[in-house]
């Protein structure tokens, strides 16, 4: 990166040089607000709105025939969108399907790939992963008749922020049947080396899958090269599919011979589904991992959103994301020195996801003060502030202004009028 310059003019110059700048006009951005929470919920784009209205109109126009007619026939939509998502995970189109939610898909995949046998009876995870993953893994262990206290192994963090990959590899013992890890840690933004961890797991005969909620649409993935066994994710963060938008999953084609652990009507091979046979003929691709009828109106915004990702390209998005997060860190170091902030995310580009993570003892109060001043951050208990300048719609000017607002809040102690506790939704 070129020499850092903390001036407003420099921020504006970086925006003039941004070859993704035109995409920001595609999004609805509230006037007077700097939105830095796209790693929790992405903003609505005009294209996502248009595709939602288009699918709503197909219901109006076709009724039941919308399943097979119109621009986006609903019966094939989950597989079609899986094909559009596949380049973002570096997979073949038949290995990806849009279905379920993060937690439902995790249950589906673990019920398929967790087959305790002999001494291999345990699942390996980490202690910093998002709680829903742990809840689901605990449930799956119990369903197999084991005690999660003994059979769900969680790798400890050395510093409370990051997980050392050597510690993960050391925990790949001969009693581990399955590994489920985050691709990017949701607090600190640390990227785990998926290629290395997959190779090490497979050396030991262990299957491995990843939660991509904080990496999909933010960093490139190369699953065909890495030979990852499975993955799952939500589509409403960096991919801007809307609150509760339908999620996605990946299954390595080498596992297509497996029958999914949880089956349903939409697990069927398409040309057999309406035979109404009580003997399931599973689809011969990732579509088999669907269960119930697709949520057509909840998946619709993803159609428009993925058009933009195809145009922007994940490599260009990653390049800007790294540049703008580094710029933000440089501003924090320059402007907030002595104010009690610690940068808790990795400083190295190859280890950092799409957001920065600041720690401060007064984090909850500071986040409330930021919101009062028009900056939308994300608080993470106990003392974390996540700030995500999103490559598609955030500007360098916004980052410069946000850090300036944060500096004023700290100098004037504006945060002291708030309680240092999270809201119901943090």
Q: Which of 210, 230, 236, 309 is catalytic?
A: 236
Distance between start and end Cα atoms, the chain: 33
Q: Which of 24, 161, 237, 380 is catalytic?
A: 237
b/e sequence 16-55, b meaning 16+ C-beta within 10 Å: eebebeebbebbebeeeebbbbbbbbbbbbebbeebbeeb
∠ CA 263-264-265, nearest 5°, is: 145
Q: Number of helices (H) and strands (E), helices first, in the chain?
A: 13, 13
Contact of 271 with 74, CB cutoff 8 Å: no
pTM for the model: 0.97
Binding-site residues, in ranges, read: 102-103, 130-133, 211, 214, 236, 265, 293
Q: Is 187 a catalytic residue?
A: no
Q: Is 416 a catalytic residue?
A: no
Q: Is 236 a catalytic residue?
A: yes
Average pLDDT over residues 333-345: 98
Residue 426 has pLDDT above 90, yes or no: no
| Residue among 315, 374, 323, 360 at smallest CA distance from 37 | 374
Per-residue confidence at 87, pLDDT binned at 50, 70, 90?
very high
Positive or negative, the CA dihedral 417, 419, 422, 425 is negative
Burial of 252 by CB count in 10 Å (0-12 exposed, 13-18 middle, 19+ buried)? buried
Output the pLDDT for position 420: 84
3-state helix vs strand vs coil in the chain, percent to 5:
45, 15, 40
Q: Which of 229, 386, 393, 396 is catalytic?
A: 386
∠ CA 154-217-92, nearest 5°, is: 90
How far is residue 136's CA from residue 419's CA, in Å, rounded to a whole number? 33
The pLDDT tens digits of the residues spanning 293-319 come to 999 999 999 999 999 999 999 999 999
Where do runs of H (alpha helix) occur along 336-375? 363-372
Contact of 163 with 157, CB cutoff 8 Å: yes
Per-residue confidence at 103, pLDDT binned at 50, 70, 90?
very high
Give the containing element (helix H, strand E) for 122.
strand 122-126
The pLDDT tens digits of the residues spanning 106-148 come to 999 999 999 999 999 999 999 999 999 999 999 999 999 999 9
Q: Which of 211, 229, 285, 378 is catalytic?
A: 211
Query: Which domains are assigned to the chain?
Result: 8-31+313-417 (3.90.1150.10), 50-311 (3.40.640.10)
Q: Mean pLDDT score of the chain, rounded to an integer? A: 97
Cis ω before 382 (30° cut-off from 0): yes
Binding-site residues for pyridoxal 5'-phosphate, in ranges, read: 102-103, 130-133, 211, 214, 236, 265, 293
Per-residue confidence at 422, pLDDT binned at 50, 70, 90?
confident
Output the pLDDT for position 375: 98
Contact of 301 with 242, CB cutoff 8 Å: yes
Positive or negative, the CA dihedral 21, 25, 27, 33 is positive
Residue 1 has pLDDT above 80, yes or no: no
Q: Which of 10, 62, 76, 130 is catalytic?
A: 130
């Amino acid at each position: 990166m070129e020499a850092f310059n903390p001036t407003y003019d420099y921020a504006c110059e970086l925006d003039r040089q941004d070859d993704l700048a035109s995409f920001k006009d595609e999004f609805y951005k509230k006037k007077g607000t700097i939105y830095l929470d796209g790693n929790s919920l992405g903003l609505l784009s005009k294209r996502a709105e248009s595709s939602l209205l288009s699918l709503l109109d197909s219901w109006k126009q076709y009724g039941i025939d919308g399943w097979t007619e119109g621009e986006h026939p609903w019966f094939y939509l989950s597989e079609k969108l899986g094909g559009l998502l596949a380049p973002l995970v570096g997979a073949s189109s038949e290995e990806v399907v849009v279905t379920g939610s993060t937690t439902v898909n995790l249950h589906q995949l673990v019920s398929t790939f967790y087959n305790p046998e002999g001494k291999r009876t345990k699942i390996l995870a980490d202690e910093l992963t998002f709680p829903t993953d742990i809840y689901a893994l605990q449930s799956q262990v119990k369903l197999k008749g084991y005690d999660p206290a003994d059979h769900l192994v969680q790798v400890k963090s050395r510093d409370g922020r990051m997980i050392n990959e050597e510690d993960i590899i050391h925990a790949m013992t001969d009693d581990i049947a399955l590994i489920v890890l985050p691709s990017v840690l949701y607090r600190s933004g640390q990227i785990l080396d998926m290629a290395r961890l997959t190779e090490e797991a497979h050396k030991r005969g262990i299957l491995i899958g990843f939660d991509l909620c904080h990496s999909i649409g933010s960093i490139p993935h190369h699953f065909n090269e890495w030979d990852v066994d499975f993955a799952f994710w939500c589509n409403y963060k960096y991919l801007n599919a809307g609150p509760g938008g339908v999620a996605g999953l990946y299954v390595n084609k080498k596992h297509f011979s497996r029958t999914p652990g949880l089956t349903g009507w939409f697990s069927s091979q398409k040309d057999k589904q309406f035979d109404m046979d009580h003997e399931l003929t599973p689809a011969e691709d990732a579509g088999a991992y669907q269960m119930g009828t697709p949520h057509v109106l909840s998946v619709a915004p993803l159609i428009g959103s993925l058009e933009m990702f195809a145009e922007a390209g994940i490599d260009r998005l990653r390049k800007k994301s790294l540049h703008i997060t580094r710029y933000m860190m440089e501003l924090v170091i320059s402007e907030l020195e002595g104010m009690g902030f610690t940068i808790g995310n990795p400083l190295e580009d190859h280890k950092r996801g799409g957001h920065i993570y600041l720690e401060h003892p007064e984090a909850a109060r500071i986040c409330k003060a930021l919101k009062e001043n028009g900056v939308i951050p994300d608080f993470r208990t106990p003392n974390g502030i996540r700030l995500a300048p999103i490559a598609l719609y955030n500007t360098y000017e916004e980052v410069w202004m946000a850090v300036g607002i944060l500096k004023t809040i700290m100098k004037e102690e504006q945060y002291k009028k708030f309680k240092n506790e999270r809201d119901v939704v943090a």
